[in-house]
Amino acid sequence: MSTLDEANRREYYRIDDVIALEISPLSAPDADSGKVLQDASPLFNLLSELHLSEFESQHLLRQISERDRALSSYLKTLNKRVDLLSQIVAQTVLGKIGELQPVKLSESGIEFHYPNAYPPGSHLSVKLVLMPQALGLLLRARVVECQAQEDRYQFVTEFESLTETQRQLLARYILQKQAQARRLARELDEPTTE
C-alpha cells in the first residue's frame, strides 16, 4: 500500500470529537505490564466494565434473538436501562475528570492539548469518557510528539497494548460518530419541502 493510501486510511478512521480526558504518567512497570489498567475511581472502573460486558454479550443477544423474539425484546429493554444507568455514572465521573475538550481520535491514538509537558517516548495513562455513549476507557499511550503552544502543549500519542475488546469499542465508537456526521451532512444538504 502506498504512503498516500495509508495517510487516507488513517484520516478515514480519525475523527474530531469532544470528550472528557485525563492524563497521568505511567511508571516503568505499569508501562511495560500487559495487564489492563485500573483506575483509582471505582465509578470509572464500573463505567468501563459496563461497556465491556455489554460489548462482549452482544453476540449472545443476537443468538437469543434468532430463537426467542420475546426474550430478545425483554433483554434489549433491560440493556437500555443499563445504558441509562451508565450515562448517570458517566455524568458523575465527568465532574471528577474535568471539562470536555476537543481531540482527534483514532483506533491507533489520540491528539489533544494538555497543560503539562511529557517528552516523546513517555508512557501515559489516558482516561477517556466518550459521549454521548458514556463509554469509559483507560488506555496506555506513548507520546509521539509534544509541542508547546502558548499556555498548553499539543500531544500526539499512540495507544499501546490495547485489548481486542478495547480496540473494537474504539472502532465502533469512531464509525458511529462518522455515520452520525454523514447523516447530519445529508440532512443539511437536502432541500426542505413544505
- The per-residue DSSP string of 150-169 comes to TTEEEEEEEEES--HHHHHH
> Which pLDDT score is estimated for 1?
43
- Spatial separation of the C-alpha atoms in residues 83 and 101, rounded to whole Å: 23
- What's the mean pLDDT when you consider all of the chain? 81
CATH topology of domain 15-27+38-189: Thrombin, subunit H (2.40.10)
E strand spans, the chain: 14-25, 100-106, 109-114, 123-130, 135-149, 152-160
Indicate the pLDDT class of residue 7, thresholds 50, 70 and 90: very low
User: Could you read off the pLDDT of 107-162 as tens digits, one per residue?
Assistant: 999 999 999 899 999 999 998 888 777 788 889 999 999 999 888 999 999 999 88
Dihedral class, residue 160 (left if φ above 0, else alpha if ψ from -120 to 50, else beta): beta
pLDDT of residue 10: 47
Question: Which phi and psi (to 5°) does residue 104 adopt?
Answer: -110, 125
Q: What pLDDT score does 194 carry?
A: 52
